[in-house]
Amino acid sequence: MSGGNIMSEASSAGSNPAAAVTPERHTSLKVAASLGATLGYGCLAAFLYLISIQIYRWFRDGEWTHFGVSEGMRVGLLRCCVNDGDTGRLAALVHWLDTPVEWLGLHKVLEVLPASLALFVLSIVGNCVLIYCQDRMRDAKTS
């Protein structure tokens, strides 16, 4: 009887990939969970801020202010990473966001797609990464 229990315990431990979590994998799960939390909650805060601005302007002016993804990317890159006269990939991206010459369809999609929707989707993705990593770490502790 005890031989049957050993066999079933070994087969159940072998079918659980989280049972053998190395310290390196645990560290990478912690880092990924931190990045997921930062992305998820940061984008959620930005989403709430952007919606608040739009609602405020709607109450004040009576018109909904549209913020597209392309406008948000351009403003974010100009405030953070690109200065006047810069050259390089980010400067080329800002130039393309201002005056596209190619990939016109993609540019149109980025203009029409609301930045608030993109931020909300990114917050969901970040929280999914956080939950996945926490589940893997919890599974490793219980086994």
Question: Which amino acid, residue 135?
Answer: D
Residues 74 and 61 in one domain: no
Asked if residue 16 belongs to a domain, the reply is no
Mean pLDDT by 10 residues, the chain (143 residues): 44 49 88 96 96 96 94 92 87 92 95 96 97 92 81
Whole-number Cα distances in Å, 87 to 28, 72, 83, 99, 104:
35, 20, 9, 16, 22
Confidence at residue 17, expressed as pLDDT on a 0 to 100 scale:
53
Q: What crossing angle do the helices spanning 23-61 and 115-142 adopt, rounded to 10°?
A: 150
Question: Which amino acid, residue 116?
Answer: S
Which range of residues forms the domain containing residue 128?
A: 22-65+115-143
Residues 139 and 125 in one domain: yes
Residues 74 and 141 in one domain: no
Residues 121 and 59 in one domain: yes
Residues 48 and 30 in one domain: yes
Confidence at residue 19, expressed as pLDDT on a 0 to 100 scale:
52
Residues 33 and 56 in one domain: yes
Q: What crossing angle do the helices spanning 104-112 and 69-80 adopt, rounded to 10°?
A: 90
Residues 81 and 102 in one domain: yes
Rounded to 5 degrees, φ, ψ at 114 are -65, 135
Confidence at residue 5, expressed as pLDDT on a 0 to 100 scale:
45
Residues 41 and 72 in one domain: no
Tokens of 36: 């997921």
Asked if residue 129 belongs to a domain, the reply is yes
| Domains contained in the chain, number | 2
Confidence at residue 92, expressed as pLDDT on a 0 to 100 scale:
92
Residues 109 and 73 in one domain: yes
Confidence at residue 83, expressed as pLDDT on a 0 to 100 scale:
87
Asked if residue 120 belongs to a domain, the reply is yes
Residues 96 and 131 in one domain: no
Residues 58 and 73 in one domain: no
Residues 96 and 121 in one domain: no
